[in-house]
Structure formats: C-alpha cells, structure tokens
C-alpha cells in the first residue's frame, strides 16, 4: 500500500504526559499537512510543510504542539503536557506541490485517535 500511513492508530495517555505521532506521506509528495478532527466537526488545519520547511501554523497550534519533518520525508507531531481538550483525531495528509498558492487535492492517512484521561 502506497498511501499515507500514521502511527500509532490509537493513543491513550494521562493528562500532563507527552505524546508523539508519526506520519509517512506518499513518497513522491513534497507537501505534508496535519489536521485535527473532533466529534461532529470537519478536519481543522494545524500546520503545513513543503519539503522540510514548516511554512504555516494555525492559531490552534499552541506552544505545546510542535511538528517536524526532517529531510522532507516523514513527519512527527508532538504534544507536550497533554490536556483533556487535546483529545481528538489527528490526521495527516500529503499532496504533490505546484507553484500555485491554493491547495491541491490532499490524500489523507487513517489518523491517530488521541484520548487524554
């Protein structure tokens, strides 16, 4: 399967702990996105990478959140000092980039469901 993969698929953690999620995009895609989805809502944009450069971050991404994409391949999203409000599905997507400023179609992974107790 050459789609977007995410690990782990589920994570249960206690409030105050740190968690890290991994995303492996489609190999030829240079753009990688993180979204968060809560119950009854559509995905909400968190951050975006073009190759290894993090080019945009949402206001939703507090200082406790950090994302990296070393060498422009896989990406990690870390949440420090988790709070109950961080409980959500964290989605990763990738796309092939052009010079256009508007987003192209994005291919989504299965997501990591985080539950903070």
Partner 1 sequence: AQSVSQHNHHVILSEAASLELGCNYSYGGTVNLFWYVQYPGQHLQLLLKYFSGDPLVKGIKGFEAEFIKSKFSFNLRKPSVQWSDTAEYFCAVAGFQKLVFGTGTRLLVSP
CB of 4 to partner 1, least distance (A): 8
Please choose, out of 12-20, 22-30, 75-83, 105-113, the segment that lies near partner 1 by the rule CB under 8 A.
105-113
Among 23, 67, 91, 116, binds partner 1 (CB under 8 A): 91
- State yes or no: residue 102 binds partner 1 (CB under 8 A): yes
CA nearest to 110, candidates 16, 22, 4, 24: 4
Site string for partner 1, 44-83 (x = CB under 8 A): xx--x-x----xx---------------------------
- The CA distance from 75 to 94, in Å, is 11
63 in Cβ contact with 56 (< 8 Å): no
Among 21, 33, 65, 90, binds partner 1 (CB under 8 A): 33
- Taking the alpha carbons at both ends of the chain, their separation in whole angstroms is 33
Residues with Cβ within 8 Å of residue 65, at least 6 apart in sequence: 46, 77, 78, 79, 80
Please choose, out of 13-21, 62-70, 78-86, 108-116, the segment that lies near partner 1 by the rule CB under 8 A.
108-116
Peptide bond before 8: cis, by omega within 30 degrees of 0? yes
- Which residues are near partner 1 by CB under 8 A? 3-4, 31, 33, 40-45, 48, 50, 55-56, 91, 93, 101-111
């Amino acid at each position: 399967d050459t789609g977007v993969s995410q690990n782990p698929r589920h994570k249960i953690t206690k409030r105050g702990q740190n968690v890290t999620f991994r995303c492996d995009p489609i190999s030829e895609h240079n753009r990688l996105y993180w979204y968060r989805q809560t119950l009854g809502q559509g995905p909400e944009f968190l951050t975006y990478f073009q190759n290894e450069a993090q080019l945009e971050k949402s206001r939703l991404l507090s200082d406790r959140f950090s994302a990296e994409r070393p060498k422009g391949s896989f990406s990690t999203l870390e949440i420090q000092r988790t709070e109950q409000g961080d409980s959500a599905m964290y989605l990763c997507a990738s796309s092939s980039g052009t010079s256009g400023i508007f987003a192209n179609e994005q291919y989504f992974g299965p997501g990591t469901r985080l539950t903070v107790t």
